[in-house]
Amino acid sequence: MDWVIFDYVLIWAVVIAIGIAMYVILDGFDLGIGILFPFAKQEAWRDDMMASIAPVWDGNETWLVLGGASLFGAFPIVYATVLPALYLPLMLFLLALVFRGIAFEFRHRSQTSTWAWNASFAAGSTIAAFAQGVVLGNFILGLPIEDGHYVGSTFSWLTPFSVFTGFALVCGYGLLGATWLIRKTEGDVQAWAFRVATRLAIALLAAIVAVSLWTPFVEPEIAERWFSFPKIIFLAPVPLVTAAVGLMLLLALKHRNEDRPFTLSISLFLLSYLGLGISLWPYIVPRSITIWEAAAPEKTHTFLLVGVLIFLPLVIGYTLYAYRVFRGKVSGDGYH
Amino acid sequence: MDLDPVILSRLQFAFTIGFHILFPSLTIGLAVFLTYVEARWLATGDTVWRDLYRFWVKIFALAFGMGVVTGIPMSFQFGTNWSEFSLNAGNVIGPLLGYEVLTAFFLEASFLGIMLFGWNRVGPRLHFVATLAVAVGTTLSAFWILSANSWMQTPQGYLINSDGVLEVESWWAVIFNPSFPYRLAHMLTATWLTTSFVIIAVSAWQVLKGRYRETALRALRTGVAAAAILAPLQAFIGDQHGLNTLKHQPIKVAAMEGNWEAGPSKPLLLFAWPDEAAEENHFEIGIPHGASLILTHSFDGEIPGLKDVGPEDRPPVALVFFSFRVMVGLGLLMIAAAWIAFAYRKSLASRPTLLRGLTFMGPAGFIATIAGWTVTEVGRQPWIVHGLLRVDESISPGVASESVMMSLMLFAIVYSLIFAAFLYFVARLVNAGPEPDADPPKADIPAMDAVQRA
């Protein structure tokens, strides 16, 4: 019954890939708001920025916990090798999320200490995004793992490439945050968001080009995946579509379209994510563990899959409902 | 510097989870209280209930935020700090946490937004549904996490594969492992009781200061009535839980009782100084036959002793022994306080000494909860999964002690900062009372009139 196990592993890889994509997009624009926070010109703008995500940020962040728990359950080997390997950046990330998350409640309650919670929110969001980018960079280039154990040193994760991907993700999340603001705000804040989004879009596109050129150069397996014949024919559309979406985004921003920049920015993220998946397939811990080697026993996969099939549609249903309740432009009403 | 990575990892886990549990202890109970209060408001239209809701939901939001931000690191620490445990037990524990996220976390997180910000966007009935969904979510979260914890205490339904990794044979047996029903009942009751005493303490203080009398007295009476039932109920559930532990983890019970030699007719030690090196107690003060009577319901019943196993298989005795006494002592104090307050429920407003005493009982539930967790978790040592995996073989081998030391210190600093801010903001909310900008009150009802009405 080998084919049955094969199926479950593949399904789980897809489920986790979707969970991570959901997290990156949903918490991405939340973190982006925090990244843009210090640059807002007035306190009233910051009030609007935070109000635009206050009702939904907690649900958005929950996708991260789903990703973590699913990895723990479905691919425990990955959970047990990648997390200790990236100990310090992950701890930095988790502590940054503490500062980011707590600012939602405390800033709203503060009278004289608003500046402190502004700083907590901005620094927490920016550091969390940067640390995620560092983790991403390490993931792309592979981790020093032998026999299922991390063999690198405490600071192996700190490389020029991972610092670069860290900054790139800060720009990317900033773009998601700015385009979300374009949707959710009006007037001065929106005009500012258009300007910021344009600059960040250019920065992100440049970063995507840089990573696309950098990785095949450093990792021959990635070069083989993209540039060998006949694969190049099937895969060429991915960078071409990405370029087209980037152009459409810049045009939409130029024409002050209120809705499309956000969906186009999300598309840009999804296309980069797809490209990443193509580069890394079939590894779940790049260059050392494939998804099949890492899979939990079938009994664990089926049990968890039943829960996913029943509850994930429900989750998506009431998440959509919650977004519907808070649709439209943000208007300073209704906090607590 | 000689740093033991096992001790550091244990300290970090104990600190982060002990800190985290304070907040669910309050939010699980407050969510039920808020559901009750909103239901009463919808049913009666009495604005006192609405004002109570709007007041307590602010404290709920602060505590919930603290619970969320301190909970996220927990879900990653199994991997970062306990990778050998994750490798060996991930097949069992991982899916339980997965179900917690799918059934509980999304539910509470999504409806929390509507609960806090949806007043002007959904009708009162839908708003009530949101509150109810959050209450259901918080309770379901307790269900899954206590199932996982209980399985680590009393594992069953597993098999060990050729690599020595634990796999699941029966999910039903894993989820409903022998200690789970007792631990779940004990913990849920603990959250309700803790919350009752927080409501009692805050309301007693407000009544004492002569503020917001109508809402404060309403909340005070509700809290007292709940505590009068829950406190003795908790003692009964705790006793049943203890009997279950005796059956499945006798050495833990021996540590709780400070009993070294197995045998019949054992005393209930009120105080003792356990000496692990000498394998005996100093300064024992006990009630003859007490332990035998409580644990076996017979004067000369057999009680397990710590010496039944070698020193390497025993938990740290003194910590378990004293934590148990703190928990039981506070439990008895809560029963006494709740019953005295209940006896005087009609005249509480005119009894400042009693009100002052009740104010001081505010932290009782939290301290008892932490003490209880110390008993059950430290009492499980040296095992991480009882009888199957040892704690010192479960940490992440690739992580340097210095890294754990650094993260532990950062957690301590960051958590202290946000805890101070949390207490400050809660104190300010309690001081400000129900919001003055709500709809104007119908009439200025004199306080004593309100007392008779309610």
Reference A128, options A102, A159, A160, A151; nearest CA is A102
Q: Which of A211-225, A241-255, B360-374 has the lowest mean pLDDT?
A: A211-225
**Test the B interface: residue of A23, A72, A92, A107 with most B CBs within 10 Å:** A72
- Convert the pLDDT of each residue in A20-58 to its tens digit: 999 999 999 999 999 999 999 999 999 999 999 998 999
Judged by CB atoms closer than 8 Å, whether chains meet at A91 and B410 is answered as: yes
3-state secondary structure of B383: strand
A91 contacts chain B (CB < 8 A) = yes
Between chains, do B87 and A150 touch, taking CB under 8 Å as contact? no
Q: Is B286 helix (H, G, I), strand (E, B) or coil?
A: strand
Alpha helices (runs of H) in B282-363, residue ranges in sequence order: 290-296, 317-343, 352-360
Q: How close is the nearest chain B Cα to the Cα of A207, in Å? A: 29
Looking at per-residue pLDDT, the higher value among A221 and B436 belongs to: A221
CB contact under 8 A, B87 and A148: yes
CB contact under 8 A, A154 and B95: no
For residues B76-98, average pLDDT: 89
Do A205 and A251 touch, CB atoms closer than 8 A? no
User: Does B66 lie at the interface with A, CB-CB under 8 angstroms?
Assistant: yes
Alpha-helix residue ranges (DSSP H) falling in B82-179: 83-100, 106-117, 124-153, 171-175
Total-model pTM: 0.90
Q: Are A73 and B90 in contact (CB under 8 A)?
A: yes
Q: Cα separation of B384 and B395, whole Å?
A: 10
Q: How far apart are CA A82 and CA B433, in angstroms?
A: 48
- Among A73-82, A128-137, A140-149, B146-155, which is the least confidently predicted range? A140-149
Percent of chain B with pLDDT over 90: 59
- Residue A332: per-residue pLDDT: 53
Q: Average pLDDT, stretch A314-326?
A: 90
Tokens of residue A15, six digits: 């489920």
Mean pLDDT taken over chain B: 89
Mutate which: B60, B80, B174, vs A, most A CBs within 10 A: B80
Confidence at residue A138, expressed as pLDDT on a 0 to 100 scale: 87
* Cα–Cα nearest to A90, from B419, B418, B396: B396
Any A CB within 8 A of B112 CB: yes
Q: Is residue A330 part of a domain?
A: no
Q: ipTM score of the complex?
A: 0.89
Residue B318, burial from CB neighbour count under 10 angstroms (0-12, 13-18, 19+)? middle
For an interface test with A, the pick among B81, B87, B101 (most A C-beta atoms closer than 10 Å) comes out as: B101
A175 SS3 class = helix
CA dist., res. A184 & res. A48, Å (int): 9
Give the pLDDT band of residue B421 (cuts 50, 70, 90). very high
Rounded Cα distance between B336 and B330, Å, is 10
Indicate which of B83, B87, B143 best probes the interface with A, i.e. most A CBs within 10 Å of its own CB. Answer: B83
Residue showing tokens 């664990």: A300
pLDDT at residue B222 above 50?
Answer: yes
Residues 297-316 of A with CB under 8 A from B: 297, 299-300, 303-304, 307-308, 311-312, 315
Which sign does the torsion angle of CA A33, A36, A37, A40 carry?
Answer: negative
Within 8 A of B62 by CB-CB distance, chain A residues are 105-106, 109
**Average pLDDT, rounded, for chain A:** 88
With contacts defined as CB-CB under 8 Å, which chain B residues touch A143?
none
Domain limits of chain B? 5-254+315-453
Which range, A128-132, A153-157, B114-118, B439-443, is most confident? A128-132
B134-143, B193-202, B251-260, range with the lowest pLDDT: B251-260
Q: Which residues of B are less than 8 Å from A83 in CB distance?
A: 76, 79-80, 83, 86, 396
pLDDT at residue B292 in the model: 86
Q: Which residue of B has its CA nearest to A316?
A: B106
Confidence band, pLDDT 50/70/90 cuts, at residue B439: very low
Chain B contact for A331 (CB, 8 A cutoff): no
Selected residue of A48, A77, A79, A105 to mutate for chain B interface (largest B Cβ count, 10 A): A105
pLDDT given at position B438: 46
Percent of all residues in chain A with a pLDDT value above 90, rounded to a whole number: 46
Residues B103, A307 contacting (CB under 8 angstroms)? yes
A73 compared with B341, residue with greater pLDDT: B341
CB-CB neighbors (< 8 A) of A312 in chain B: 102
Question: What amino acid is encoded at B23 in this protein?
Answer: F
Q: How far is B80 from chain A (nearest CA, A)?
A: 4
Please give, rounded to a whole number of angstroms, the shortest distance from the CA of A304 to a CA of chain B. 6
> Per-residue pLDDT averaged across A210-228, rounded?
85
A149/B398 touch (CB, cutoff 8 Å), yes or no: yes
Nearest CA in chain B to A335: B117
For tokens 């280039």, the residue is A141
The answer to whether residue A98 scores a pLDDT higher than 90 is yes
For residue B259, what are its two tokens? 């009993």
Contact B76 A88 (CB under 8 A): no
Give the tens place of pLDDT for each residue, B372-406.
999 999 999 999 999 899 998 888 887 888 889 99
| Minimum distance, in Å, between the CA of residue A321 and any CA atom of chain B | 9
Binning chain B into helix, strand and coil, the percentages to the nearest 5 are: 75, 5, 20
Among B76, B406, B431, pick the best mutation site for testing chain A contact (most A Cβ within 10 A): B76
A236 to chain B nearest CA, in Å? Answer: 37
Looking at the complex, does the CB of residue A115 fall below 8 Å from at least one CB of chain B?
A: no
Query: Which of B261, B255, B258 minimizes the C-alpha distance to B270?
Result: B258
CA dist B255 and B330 (Å) reads 19
What pLDDT sits at residue A193? 95
B105/A62 touch (CB, cutoff 8 Å), yes or no: yes
Give the nearest chain B residue to A81 (CA atoms). Answer: B83
Report the 10 Å Cβ neighbour count for B232: 15
- CA distance linking residue B290 with residue A106, whole number of Å: 50
| C-alpha torsion sign, points B300, B301, B306, B309 | positive
Distance, in Å, from the CA atom of A256 to the CA atom of A268, rounded to the nearest integer, reads 18
- When pLDDT is averaged across residues A178-187 and rounded to a whole number, the result is 93
Contacts of B58 in chain A (CB under 8 A): 336
The rounded distance, in Å, linking the Cα atoms of B333 and B363 is: 12
* pLDDT in the model for residue A192: 95
Residue of higher predicted confidence among A225 and B14:
B14
Reply yes or no on whether the pLDDT at B289 is more than 80.
yes
> Do the chains contact at A154 and B403, CB–CB below 8 Å?
yes
* pLDDT for residue B2 is more than 80: no
Lowest-confidence pick of A137-141, A149-153, B115-119: A149-153
Whether A106 sits inside 8 A of B87 (CB atoms) is: no
Better pLDDT: B210 or B405 = B405
* Alpha-carbon separation of residue A316 from A58, A308, A320, B102, B106 (angstroms): 14, 11, 6, 11, 9
Flag the least confident range among A72-81, A249-258, B219-228, B240-249.
Answer: A72-81
Residues in chain B: 454
Highest-pLDDT range among A225-229, B159-163, B233-237 = B233-237
Q: What pLDDT was estimated at residue A5? A: 47
A72: confidence class by pLDDT, cuts 50, 70, 90? confident
Residue B160 φ then ψ, to 5°? -105, 120
Q: Quick check: B410 pLDDT over 90?
A: yes
B79 to chain A, any CB pair closer than 8 A? The answer is yes
DSSP 3-state percent helix, strand, coil across chain A (nearest 5): 80, 5, 15
In the prediction, which pLDDT does B448 show?
35
Q: How far apart are CA B30 and CA B23, in angstroms?
A: 10
CB-side exposure of A200: number of CA atoms within 13 Å? 28
- For the segment B292-321, the average pLDDT, to the nearest whole number, is 88
Q: Establish if B110 touches chain A: CB-CB under 8 angstroms.
A: yes
Give chain B positions within 8 Å (CB) of A101.
65, 68-69, 72
Over residues B331-340, the pLDDT tens digits come to 999 999 999 9
Write down the pLDDT at residue B1.
52
How many angstroms away from the CA of B104 is the closest CA of chain A? 10
- Label residue B454 by pLDDT band (50, 70, 90): very low
Mean pLDDT of the B129-133 span = 95
The answer to whether residue B451 scores a pLDDT higher than 80 is no
Find how far residue B146's CA is from the centre of its chain.
11
Residue in chain A lying closest to B172 (CA)? A303
* Number of DSSP helices (H) and strands (E) in chain B, helices first: 15, 8
In the structure, what pLDDT confidence band is assigned to residue B436 with cuts at 50, 70 and 90?
Answer: low
Structural domain boundaries, residue A161: 2-324
Place of tokens 């919808």: B42
**Is A104 in the B-facing interface, judged by CB distances under 8 Å?**
yes
b/e string for A181-219 if b means 16 or more Cβ within 10 A?
bbbbbeeebbebbbebbbebbbbbbebbeebbebbbeeb
Asked whether the bond before B397 is cis by omega within 30 degrees of 0, the reply is no
Give the pairing of strands B280-287 and B268-275. Answer: antiparallel
Please check whether residue B50 touches A, CB under 8 A: no
Give the percent of chain A with pLDDT over 70.
96
Distance of alpha carbon B397 from alpha carbon B85, whole angstroms? 11
Give A161 to chain B, closest Cα distance, Å: 22
- One DSSP character per residue, B241-267 reads HHHHHHHH-HHHHHHHHT--S-EES--
Coil/strand/helix, residue B272: strand
Interchain CB distance below 8 Å, B113 and A56: yes
Question: 3-state DSSP call for residue A220?
Answer: helix
Question: Is residue A333, in this structure, part of any structural domain at all?
Answer: no
Domains of chain A: total: 1
